[in-house]
Structure 1
């Protein structure tokens, strides 16, 4: 699970939420990245961006 991108199952496990809720969060975060001009991969979210938005972390430990 140390990859650069998280999949829906990873988000579900980390946050303890349902699959539909995880997809909604991933969609929201990917839309934020798109608005900033980044390319995104549908069904995946950048681990770094996810951690920044949820934990305020700028670097994974």
Structure 2
């Protein structure tokens, strides 16, 4: 359970910093995402999820 809270906290910190430091960039990124077709957005989301799993596996493998 602690790992879930740690992961959620890290995501919240990164997201919060992105919105605090570059809100106009976030708006432009959202505009680009809106212009993409839904299947491309799904593929992008899957790519990000798989990349996250790889990062978690590497962290576990390295003993972090």
The TM-score bracket by the shorter chain reads 0.3 to 0.5
Greater helix proportion: 2
The normalised TM-score by structure 2 is 0.36
Rg larger for: 2
Structure with larger RCO (C-alpha < 8 A, sep 6+): 1
Greater strand proportion: 1
The normalised TM-score by structure 1 is 0.38
